């Protein structure tokens, strides 16, 4: 309604001065588009690229005229966003990645809580669940509505910078390696290698947050909050406890992300060969890539959960509760413990919850990332074109 009133008022002002109503309508439409562009300017301010304020009526009319000129140009002005501009700036990738990471983890956090509990090797009798929905229902009924959200703040704090590095390094390395391996075309090897390097940076930032998050997600977690958990782990197990599962995390996430990125890029070639902004193709490709990678790497995820949580009943059952070896450390040790307590089936505990978590999680991540990447790069592209149009006039 406000936009309609704004357009109506501009049209009346144009008609009173003898201007053609059709021209006035086009100008009003340009102003509405200008308002949308200002919303992107707010996002850009986060990375120090705020659009200058437009002060007077004369300046506003100048911008309207420039936008009208741009609208009248051919379809070439709507350049493929993968090439807007010659690769978006690093700050754009980092901002889009940070938003995507936070949204992905926050929206899917309750399912992540269920996954952590279902991967428990020796769960408490009150924490044995038939499936994902049964687990979620019982957690809410017996422990409270907010219980599945414990540890969310730790995840949000870690996910922002971790995914900013993750997507920015992936985009940069993918482009660089593709130019070397297969100039002018997509390279699956480059995609996989870029994904592996991006994982090293992502996990270095995210691993401490994962430790805190998973300890707070466990049934009967003794910690009052995030800070209490950090303090207790630091005092009892030392700072190394926050990176005890780092090598296992990398062992899991390097093949996971390599498979994830290669599958995503391959599906994009099939579903979106022209690499235009296509939300449905980004969502479907992300969901399928996440599901395939998640199911394949579940055994390593079970070991990572054991190393992060140091599950007390698992330690007692495996004879690790007393003596010098009070903790499970290292991937080999975790593998032996999982096999001793659960057999081969133990390596696939929680696979259903993991796939259910990863499918929408990766779909959300890619959809949000591509959306912000599209919007921010296009707005930057249009800003750079305005001075050129003015110069030509």
Residue whose pair of structure tokens reads 């911008």 in the numeric block: 63
Q: Which long-range contacts (CB under 8 A, 24 or more apart) does 228-234 make?
A: 229/154
Alpha-carbon span 341 to 303, nearest angstrom: 12
Nearest to 172 by CA among 164, 49, 81: 164
> What domain count does the chain have?
1
Is 240 within the bounds of a domain? yes
- Indicate whether 229 belongs to any domain: yes
Helices (H) and strands (E) counted in the chain, each on its own, are: 15, 0
Q: Is the pTM of this model over 0.85?
A: no
Position 325 in a domain: yes
**What is the C-alpha separation between 30 and 208, in angstroms, rounded?**
48
Report if residue 276 sits inside a domain.
yes
191 lies in some domain: yes
Predicted confidence at residue 386, as pLDDT, reads 64
Q: Is residue 39 part of a domain?
A: no
In angstroms, the CA 327 to CA 324 distance is 9
Would you state the pLDDT for residue 390? 61
- Examine residue 379 and state whether it is found in any structural domain, yes or no: no
pLDDT of residue 161: 94
Q: What angle do CA 178, 96, 301 make, to 5 degrees?
A: 75
Q: Cα 280 to chain center, whole Å? A: 17
What's the CATH number where 143 sits? Answer: 1.50.40.10
What residue numbers bound the domain in which 141 lies?
A: 90-373
Residue ranges in the chain whose pLDDT is less than 50: 1-36, 38-40, 42-86, 323-324
227-247 b/e with 16+ CB inside 10 Å = b?
A: eebbeebeeeeeeebbebbbe
Indicate the SS3 state at residue 188.
helix
The whole-number pLDDT of residue 187 equals 83
In a domain, 284, yes or no: yes
- Give every CB contact of residue 323 below 8 A, 6+ residues apart in sequence: none
**Under 8 Å between Cβ of 353 and 118:** yes
Q: How far apart are CA 53 and CA 245, in angstroms?
A: 49
């Amino acid at each position: 309604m406000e936009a309609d009133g704004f357009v109506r008022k501009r049209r009346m002002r144009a008609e009173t001065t003898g201007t053609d109503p059709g021209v006035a309508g086009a100008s009003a439409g340009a102003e509405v588009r200008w308002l949308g562009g200002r919303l992107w300017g707010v996002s850009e301010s986060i990375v120090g690229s705020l659009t200058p304020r437009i002060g007077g009526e004369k300046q506003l009319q100048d911008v309207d005229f420039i936008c009208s000129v741009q609208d009248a140009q051919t379809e070439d002005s709507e350049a493929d966003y993968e090439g807007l501009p010659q690769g978006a700036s690093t700050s754009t990738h980092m901002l889009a990645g940070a938003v995507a990471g936070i949204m992905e983890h926050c929206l899917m956090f309750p399912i992540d809580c269920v996954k952590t509990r279902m991967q428990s090797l020796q769960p408490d009798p009150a924490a044995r669940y038939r499936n994902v929905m049964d687990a979620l229902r019982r957690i809410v009924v017996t422990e409270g509505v907010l219980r599945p959200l414990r540890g969310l703040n730790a995840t949000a704090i870690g996910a922002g910078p971790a995914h900013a590095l993750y997507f920015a390094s992936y985009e940069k390395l993918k482009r660089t390696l593709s130019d070397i391996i297969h100039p002018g075309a997509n390279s699956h090897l480059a995609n996989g290698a870029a994904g592996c390097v991006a994982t090293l940076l992502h996990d270095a930032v995210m691993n401490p947050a994962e430790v805190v998050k998973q300890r707070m997600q466990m049934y009967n977690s003794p910690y009052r909050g995030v800070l209490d958990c950090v303090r207790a782990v630091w005092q009892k197990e030392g700072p190394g406890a926050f990176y005890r599962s780092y090598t296992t995390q990398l062992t899991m996430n390097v093949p996971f992300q390599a498979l994830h990125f290669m599958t995503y890029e391959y599906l994009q070639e099939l579903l979106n060969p022209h690499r235009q902004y296509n939300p449905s193709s980004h969502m479907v490709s992300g969901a399928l890539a996440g599901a395939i990678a998640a199911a394949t790497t579940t055994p390593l995820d079970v070991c990572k959960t054991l190393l992060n949580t140091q599950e007390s009943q698992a330690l007692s059952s495996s004879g690790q509760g007393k003596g010098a070896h009070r903790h499970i450390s290292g991937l080999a040790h975790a593998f032996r413990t999982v096999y001793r307590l659960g057999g081969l089936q133990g390596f696939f505990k929680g696979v259903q919850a993991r796939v259910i978590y990863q499918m929408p999680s990766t779909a959300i991540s890619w959809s949000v990332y591509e959306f912000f990447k599209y919007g921010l790069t296009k707005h930057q592209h249009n800003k750079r074109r305005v001075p050129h149009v003015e110069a030509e006039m």
